[in-house]
Amino acid sequence: MENHQRQRITIVDCDQESFVVEQEVAGAAGIELVKAQATTEDEVIAAAQGADAILVQYAPITDRVLEALPGLRAVGRYGVGVDTVDLEAATAHGVPVCNVPDYSIEDVSDHAIALALTLVRGTAQLDRRLRAGQYGLAAIKPLHRVREQTFGVVGLGRIGRATAQKARALGFTVIGSDPMLEVGSSTDDGTPVVPFEDLLEGSDVISLHVPLTAGTHHLIDAAALARMRSGAMLVNTCRGGVVDTEALLAALGTGRPRSAALDVFETEPIPAGSPLLNEENLVLTPHASWYSEESETELKRRITEAMVTACRGETPPHVVNPGVLTG
C-alpha cells in the first residue's frame, strides 16, 4: 500500500496573531499548515524539517538553513523585500523565493504622503508643544504652502510612482530619480526623471522607495544629507538600512534636513535607548506603512497561494530569483 504523506507548509516566523487566512488556503488544497516562531538558523532548521514550503517574515534563510532542508520546494516572504533571504544560496539549492510585490502599494504610498504632510505642516511638533502647554506657531516657522514645494521621489517603482501621483494631486511639483530610468525622460504619468544629486539639491520633501541592496545601503549618508536644501524634509518608508541613522541624527542639527519621518529602522524594533526616540525633529512609526486590514488579508492569501502552487510542482508567481527557473 502506497504511503501518501500529506504535504506541509511551515510558517517559520510571523508577528501576526491570526493565521486564519493561511489555514483556509492551505486547508482547501489539502496541505497541512504548521506554525512556529523561529529567530535563529537552528530554530528555522528545526521548525521546517519535513516542510515542502516555508513562509518567513524576519527569520534568516541562509545557505546553512537551505542545506539542512533538502526537500524544500519554495520560500515565501511575507512582504515585498527579501533581504533576510540569501537569494544566491536559494538559487544554488534550486529553491524559488517568492514575494508579493504589489499587495501594499496603496497603503505604503498613503503612509508616505501622510508622513510628508505631517512634516510639511508641522502637525506632530504642534501636537507635542500644545500638550506641553505651549500654544503658538514658533516651533514650526517658517512653514510654506504645498504648492510652493518640490517633492522628490527616490525610486520610481510601483510604490514610488503611486506616491508621486498622490503628491502631484496635492499640488506638489514632483520630480523623481531611478537608476533604471533614463535621465531626462518622464514616467508614464509625467514625473520627470532627474539625476539623484539634482533631486537631493532641488527637493523640499524627499521620499525614499528603493529596495535594500548593496548599492542602496546608506544611500542617504552624510554626503547626501549635506547636499539637501536647507529646511528639506526626509521620509523613509522603504528599508531602514537605506538611511545612515548616525549621519541623519547629526545632520538634523544643521537643518539639512530640517526634519524627517521614519517608518523603518536599521534595527527593528528600535532599542529602548535609541537616540531616535529623543529627537524633536523626527516623526516615527513602527514599520506600519504596509498595514491595512485589506493589505494584510491580501498578503496572507497570495503568499500562501504561491506556496500551494509550489507544493503542486508548478512554478509559483513572483519568483525573485529567476535564475532558479532556468538553471
Active site members? 239, 268, 287
Instruction: Compute the half-sphere exposure of residue 122: CA atoms within 13 Å on the CB side of its CA.
Output: 17
Q: Is the peptide bond before 257 cis (omega within 30 degrees of 0)?
A: yes
Q: What is the CA radius of gyration of the chain?
A: 22
Pair type for strands 97-98 and 150-154:
unpaired
155: left (phi over 0), alpha (psi -120 to 50) or beta: left
How is residue 66 written as a grid cell? 537551505
Apex 290 CA angle, 258 and 131, nearest 5:
45
CA-nearest of 257, 259, 254, 256 to 282 is 259
In order of 25, 33, 76, 77, 188, the CA distances from 12 in angstroms are 17, 11, 10, 10, 40
Contacts of 131 (CB under 8 A, 6+ apart): none
How is residue 7 written as a grid cell? 504535504
* DSSP codes, 190-246: -PBB--HHHHHHH-SEEEE-----TTTTTSB-HHHHHHSPTT-EEEE-S-GGGB-HH
Q: Give start and end residues of each alpha helix (H) in the chain.
A: 20-28, 41-48, 63-67, 87-92, 105-121, 123-131, 158-170, 196-202, 222-227, 245-252, 293-311, 323-326
Contacts of 133 (CB under 8 A, 6+ apart): none
Contacts of 179 (CB under 8 A, 6+ apart): 196
